[in-house]
Amino acid sequence: MTAVRALAALILSSVLVGPALAQDRIVPSSSAQLRLSYGPIVQRVQPAVVNVYAAKVVQNRNPLLEDPMFRRFFGVPGGPQEQMQRSLGSGVMVDASGLVVTNNHVIEGADQVKVSLADKREFEAEIVLKDSRTDLAVLRLKDTKEKFPTLDFANSDDAQVGDVVLAIGNPFGVGQTVTHGIISALARTQVGITDYQFFIQTDAAINPGNSGGALVDMSGRLVGVNTAIFSRSGGSQGIGFAIPANMVRVVVASAKSGGKAVKRPWLGARLQAVTPEIAETLGLKRPTGALVANVAAGSPAARAGLKLSDLIVSIDGQTIDDPNAFDYRFATRPLGGTAQVDVLRGGKPVRLSIALETAPDTGRDEIVIKSRSPFQGATVANISPALADELKLDSSVEGVAITNIADDGFAANVGFRKGDVIVEVNGQKIGRTSDLEKVARESSRLWRITVLRGGQQISVVLGG
């Protein structure tokens, strides 16, 4: 009988105690506890988030319309037909005068841009600045004199994994929408969207149309600009990426100062990632830091004393895990001062003071090749320190760099890419854009071209 009572007591205790140990459930003691809401934050933030509509005219080439027999039989005009191509995105008002930041890919190539406010009013907008390296663009509303609601910038370096955030934008064009989630990760570098790989990852639902919209913290401040999603289906998979507010701040500041391009500090050195094999050689416990692979003569890095094989481990006290982290940290430093960079040299710590100044950009002489040749439709420029930094080229590279490729040109069909360096054409060395323009005007049945791409020299022969 005693054993039976003991068993009954054990069963009773497991029923009463077990669930409480697994999870304490608390019944709300007041109606106020049932009304917890993000509403006050949304009401304050929403008026500063806008919808961005961009349109451009494209030439729609139908091969059937190029056939004279087809045109004659069906009685349709030949030649390319104009078609209006539209894109949709979001934006954030960052200045009361009507300055809006959005993604560059939302307005890229647009002939017309319109901005729709939360109150349904619509304004024409001009493009003030475009920065493909960060995928950011700044717009200004036209013909307005009123003061608009804006968002303040948060210090995105203070963000932590697990922080609650709200994403506001116009997904699928259904209208302004708010979703919530947390910051899932920081300093994501393997995304491949922009030159500066240092994204905030969030699980707040982000979909097509959210690009350029706001990611805000619980104080209603802008912590990032939503720019991309990882998706196998085209819809939200709970993995979205935002450009940190500290980078957005730099681009907006350049636009406010009247610049047509973003001014950033120039290091003048090429960095590479530390592999496990390199880490073992250097005596590191794990692969970390940014290894110096090249230093340009006369650059801020060279003047500060940075040397080949130095391992950069921090900048202004912030740890550097890889070259992407350094690029972001260095690019968000204000011009005019210095950055304190800690390196390991032969296993010993060394601190260097690097001047924060822009790269020289004289003699670029950018032109578009228009003559019939494999280069037709390519925009090319002489290689300056600024262009080498922009295209991530070695400072010692000689030749002419491709800075843009028209979609409908021969250069695009041949397979040239932005960042390619034309070194030689038909036995003639190409040192300036004028050299390439001259050789491109020459008629030739064969084109022997030497190109430098990603540090590798490629030689090709093309028919004329």
Per-residue pLDDT of 175-192, as tens digits, reads 888 999 999 998 877 666
> Which CA distances in Å does 20 have to 8, 13, 319?
19, 11, 43
At 125 the three-state DSSP class reads strand
Largest separation between any pair of C-alpha atoms in the chain:
110
> Which CA distances in Å does 222 have to 55, 74, 194, 232, 246?
27, 56, 20, 28, 10
> Which CA distances in Å does 410 have to 183, 237, 437?
45, 38, 15
180 catalytic per annotation: no
Q: What are the two backbone dihedrals, phi and then psi, of residue 214, each rounded to the nearest 5 degrees?
A: -95, 140
DSSP characters for 343-390? EEETTEEEEEEEE--PPP------EE--SSSTTTTEEEEE--HHHHHH
End-to-end CA distance of the chain: 104
Q: Which of 105, 131, 203, 327 is catalytic?
A: 105
105 catalytic per annotation: yes
- Return d(Cα 414, Cα 459) in angstroms, integer: 13
Residue 413: what pLDDT? 86
Q: Structural domains in the chain?
A: 39-263 (2.40.10.120), 269-355 (2.30.42.10), 367-463 (2.30.42.10)
The count of C-alpha atoms lying within 13 angstroms of the C-alpha of 184, restricted to the half-sphere facing its C-beta, is 15
Structure-token pair, residue 256: 């406010």
Closest CA to 236 of 212, 204, 211: 204
Q: Which of 87, 211, 314, 373 is catalytic?
A: 211
What pTM value is reported for the model? 0.78
**b (16+ CB within 10 A) / e for 74-105:** eeeeeeeeeeeeebbbbbbbbbeebbbbbbbb
The count of C-alpha atoms lying within 13 angstroms of the C-alpha of 243, restricted to the half-sphere facing its C-beta, is 33
* Amino acid at the residue 216: V
Question: Which positions ≥6 away from 101 have C-beta within 8 Å?
Answer: 91, 92, 94, 136, 137, 138, 139, 212, 225, 248, 251, 252
Q: Which of 90, 116, 131, 135 is catalytic?
A: 135
Q: What are the two backbone dihedrals, phi and then psi, of residue 431, each rounded to the nearest 5 degrees?
A: -110, -25
Structure-token pair, residue 112: 């017309």
Long-range contacts of 442-447, Cβ-Cβ distance < 8 Å, separation of 24 or more: 444/373, 447/373, 447/374
DSSP characters for 10-54? HHHHHHHHHHHHH-------SGGGG---SHHHHHHHGGGEEEEEE
Averaged pLDDT, groups of 10, the chain, 464 residues long? 41 41 62 77 93 77 54 54 72 95 90 91 94 92 92 93 92 85 85 76 86 92 88 66 93 89 90 93 91 92 95 95 93 93 94 94 88 91 89 84 88 89 92 92 87 88 78
Q: DSSP secondary-structure letter at 174?
A: S
Closest CA to 117 of 40, 51, 42: 51
408 catalytic per annotation: no
Structure-token pair, residue 324: 């992407």
- Return d(Cα 403, Cα 366) in angstroms, integer: 8
* Amino acid at the residue 348: K
Q: Specify the pairing of strand 222-229 against strand 240-244.
A: antiparallel
- Return d(Cα 386, Cα 141) in angstroms, integer: 31
